[in-house]
Amino acid sequence: MPGKTRVVSFGVGVIGSAVVKTMVEKKSDWIDIVGAIDSDPSKTGKDLGVVAGLDKSCGVLVSNKIERTLAETKPDIVVHTTSSYLSSVEQQLIDIATQGVDIVSSCEELSYASVVDQKIANELDSIAKENGVSILGTGINPGFVMDALPIALTAPCISINSIHVARQMNAATRRIPFQKKIGAGMKPDEFKDALSSGKISGHVGLSQSISMLADSIGWKLEQIEVRTPEPVILDRKVSSDWIAVEAGMVAGTRQKALGIILGKFAITYDFAAYIGAPEEFDAVEISGNPTVSFKSNPCINGDAGTIAMLINMIPRVLEAPPGLLTMADLRLPRAANMPLSV
């Protein structure tokens, strides 16, 4: 189909499947899914439609061969959704980039890779430039509500004293892996153990978002302090469709992160996700001249928001110069080629 954007889905897990479903059902006027890659033996060789849970065939088989799939399908871009961690995706991204294909990825650490591992970030940037490809890590958070949006909201400011960014969500509105990831339903001791063992790792992206914000406005942070996630324990029973949380048990988590300049908390982040949260919001409060203080109601849904960001940033990545890019490097984000759903 000439003129359409040719996409390969790399990773057909929960997010990858939802992206595929959205593309097939809502974006087929401008997106053509030409290939799919996943290392899971239970998925390879099967039709993407079946693996992604669509009610129809995609005419594309899931393959575990990166190089061959890209060579045969010649995509414009890979939508990559395999892991939150830079070290886990590094080789995958190199394999894609060396085939000359642009990448938009849900990998949280990739959203501002330099703060995770400057060496890997430099390597990816070099390989991207050598191969003329653009690489972006994005999503709802990191990617939008706690970085791109606060950055944009600093634009009408003459001066800034401090920036506070908060996101609070009722985890009951999210998919079950997310609810488990934040410890919902655990006993307080279990939560502690899960933190120690790495079963719960807190929200991935806070240091990335803070760094992107500070660097964008020219603030040199002395330190970024990402605090240990705290359990949210309520004195009443709350529940989602999947998990019942008795009073005194863990309903979810709250995590703070700080950007410090001259010993002051110049940037403060507060991320809370728990079942039964009475209010859902995203908030950006910029103390400065003028004051800029926005709050949403509800918070932007994380699952739909991440899928949308991965799809909507495709045109921005395709038009961008080569390199390892961030949301702050690209043109103003927007819903891409939105069909008339009025």
Residues that bind a copy of itself (CB under 8 A): 22, 26, 140, 144-145, 148-149, 151-162, 216-220, 261-262, 264, 266, 282, 288-298, 300-301, 304-305, 307-309, 311-313, 327-342
Q: Residue 186 Cβ, how far from a copy of itself at the closest point, in Å?
A: 28
Between CA 147 and CA 141 the distance in angstroms is 8
Q: How far apart are CB 82 and a copy of itself at their closest, in Å?
A: 21
**Residue carrying the six token digits 């928001």:** 305
The DSSP result for 84-152, as a single string, is S-HHHHHHHHHHHHTTT-EEEE--GGGGGGGGT-HHHHHHHHHHHHHTT-EEEE-SSTTTTTTTHHHHH
For residue 292, CA distances in Å to 3, 265, 288 come to: 41, 18, 8
Q: How is residue 39 annotated by DSSP?
A: -
For tokens 């996943």, the residue is 38
The residue among 195 and 224 lying less far from a copy of itself, judged by its C-beta, is 224
Beta carbon nearer to a copy of itself, 39 or 337: 337
Query: CB of residue 31 vs a copy of itself: minimum separation in angstroms?
Result: 12
CB 45, min distance to a copy of itself, A: 30
CB of 25 to a copy of itself, least distance (A): 10
CA proximity to 51, closest of 22, 79, 20:
20
- By beta-carbon proximity to a copy of itself, the closer residue of 61 and 298 is 298
Q: Which residue in 5, 140, 175 sits closest to 79, CA to CA? A: 5
Shortest Å, Cβ 60 to a copy of itself: 21
CB 275 within 8 A of CB 245: yes
Please identify, using beta-carbon distances, which residue of 298 and 322 lies nearer to a copy of itself: 298
CB 228 → a copy of itself: shortest distance, Å? Answer: 25
**Residue whose CB is less far from a copy of itself, 241 or 340:** 340
Going across the sheet that includes 31-37, the strands are 62-63, 31-37, 5-10, 77-80, 102-105, 134-137, 323-325
Phi, psi of 332 (to 5 degrees): -40, 125
For residues 80 and 92, the answer to whether their CB atoms sit within 8 Å is yes
Bridge partner residues of 256 (DSSP): 270
Q: Which is nearer to a copy of itself, 250 or 330 (CB)?
A: 330
Q: What six digits make up the tokens of 117?
A: 């591992």
State whether residue 308 is helix, strand or coil. Answer: helix
In the complex, minimum distance from the CB of residue 71 to a copy of itself, in angstroms, rounded to a whole number: 31
Compare residues 158 and 228 and give the one whose CB is closer to a copy of itself: 158
Q: Between residues 23 and 194, which has the closer beta carbon with respect to a copy of itself?
A: 23
- Structure tokens given for 79: 């939508």
Pairing of strands 159-170, 281-289: antiparallel
